[in-house]
A = this chain, B = another copy of it.
Amino acid sequence: MRYNNLDKTAVYGRLLEAAKAYSAFDFREKLDAARVLACSVPIADTLVYNWAAKKLDDGIVALLQTLAGEQELAAKYRALLDGEIMNTGEKRKVLHQLLRGRLGSDVVSDGKNIGEFYGKELERISTFALAVREGKVTGASGKRFRVAVQIGIGGSDLGPRALYIALENWALKEGINPNIKAKFISNVDPDDAAAVLNAVPLDETLFVLVSKSGVTQETRANEIFVKNKLKKAGLDASKHIVAVTSETSPLARNSDYLNSFYIDDFIGGRYSSSSGVGGLILSLAFGPAVFSEFLRGAHEADKAALEPDIRRNAAMLDALIGVWERNFLRFPYTAVLPYSQALSRFPAHLQQLDMESNGKRVNRAGETVSYGTGPVVFGEPGTNGQHSFYQLLHQGTDIVPLQFIGFNDSQLDDDVEMDGSTGMTKLKANLAAQIVAFAKGQDDADPNKQFPGGRPSSLIYGKRLTPKALGALLAHFENKVMFQGFVWNLNSFDQEGVQLGKVLTKKVLSGNPGDDALDAYGKLLGL
């Protein structure tokens, strides 16, 4: 396998050259019904990626296909699936796709079949979650659990939280019972845990403590906070806390916990939603069958991402268009705009997924790269964003590439008509209108009312946001980020950038900051 920097590929110069013509790309001329219909690529059964309003034509697609070939994207994905060490810095395999089903050869590590291990843990989670849901496992007072509170931060929080919010109303509509509500504690700010605990019935609450290492500062602090409250309430904490961790962590096989479920070093935090990290809380809330459907959807998308023809591989095409925008059209950010209130926290998860994976200035061999890598990612649901930051997106001095997401049907199917259309129809009309407004703009004699257009967007659409569609959506973005990492020649699976802050925090807490500015900042904050 070749591991070349992007700017060492043969096609790089041709893309740079081609980009010069693209500031003049005119959507008013190009974007018609035929193009919209021609530019759809399935992500999975449940979702489609459409790139009609992206700033590129067949010639660029052909160059991007060449780039995909030069950087061996499909082969690298296969190698990853087969268990090659793709997290080079930490010398680890990268196996989150295996949580969703096998696509490569058997992966064995230290004599252990990893796929079987993941399957077994999924089974254990399923059995445990069912027992809780059926009231066979109860709290210390014998009462059924009605609330599950996840304690975790970063990948142990953002993904699971976004997915829970995405399915909460769907489950209500589907009549899924019993209704175990999920809540989340993440921040080391004690107000976070205190507020959540003020709002739950402790004797009916099961805590899901999630930390792969078992030593995450925030999660440990919040665990102690919770144990303290349980003790004060006269409840045996070991009957109210389960752990999701690695087999080598202090949380493993520890009688402090009602049960423990395991992941391993081959599942990165931000890629762990498909493991017990997301699986336990979702299975507790909605039942294991729903989580299985989610995994099935993700697996479908993983499978579709094997295709080497980028016109038939949505994740790879999305990744390459992102590179086209980042390195050749030179847009340093991207906005994720779901037209679905259920996806309100999905952009926050993608922010971690993307920025923590590819926000790097060093390639997988440890050399500084001389091109832009991961963009800044942000977003809020539509139509809310329209009344907020869309002003800049439409009429700002710089272009922000956009990624829209929308569905045909609502989740709750509870709607009213106004002025001849339902809320859902209005939502979709707004979405369609925005894509075209951004692309085509509008002339006006008053420059303040003129819309320059030329602002590119893609659209991911599906029938309804179901567990299966949600799985496909998550996997699509995971795979997109992975392919971009391959193009940029990065290790997308470590996060050394989080270390220095931890080291300095410890110094401050030790009372010996070793830097007088650090000491002075501490004093401003009352330390």
Contact = CB atoms under 8 A, between A and B. Distances in A.
Interface stretch (A92-100, A271-279, A490-498): A490-498
Contacts of A169: 191, 194-195
A257 interface: no
Nearest to A419: B509
A436 B189 contact: no
A265 to B, nearest CB: 17
A344 to B, nearest CB: 9
Given A356-B391, A437-B504, A406 B525 contact: yes
B218 A429 contact: no
Contact of A158 (B193, B198, B388, B436): B388
A75 interface: no
Contacts of A155: 387
A519 interface: yes
A511 to B, nearest CB: 9
Contacts of A12: none
A519 B434 CA distance: 12
Interface residues of A, number: 158
B373 A376 contact: no
A521 B412 contact: no
A298 B382 CA distance: 30
Q: How many copies does the complex hold?
A: 2
A89 interface: yes
A518 B438 CA distance: 12
B392 A459 contact: no
27 contacts: A52-B517, A153-B384, A154-B386, A168-B195, A169-B191, A188-B426, A190-B410, A191-B410, A194-B415, A220-B418, A332-B333, A348-B380, A352-B389, A355-B396, A356-B392, A361-B395, A361-B452, A366-B447, A377-B389, A390-B497, A390-B501, A394-B497, A409-B526, A421-B509, A432-B525, A437-B500, A449-B499
8 smallest beta-carbon distances between A and B, as pairs: A359-B392, A154-B387, A408-B526, A433-B504, A190-B423, A378-B378, A36-B520, A352-B388
Given A195-B341, A429-B527, A436-B521, 18 more contacts: A32-B520, A37-B520, A153-B387, A155-B387, A187-B384, A190-B416, A356-B388, A359-B391, A359-B396, A360-B391, A376-B376, A390-B501, A394-B498, A433-B503, A436-B504, A436-B515, A440-B517, A448-B496
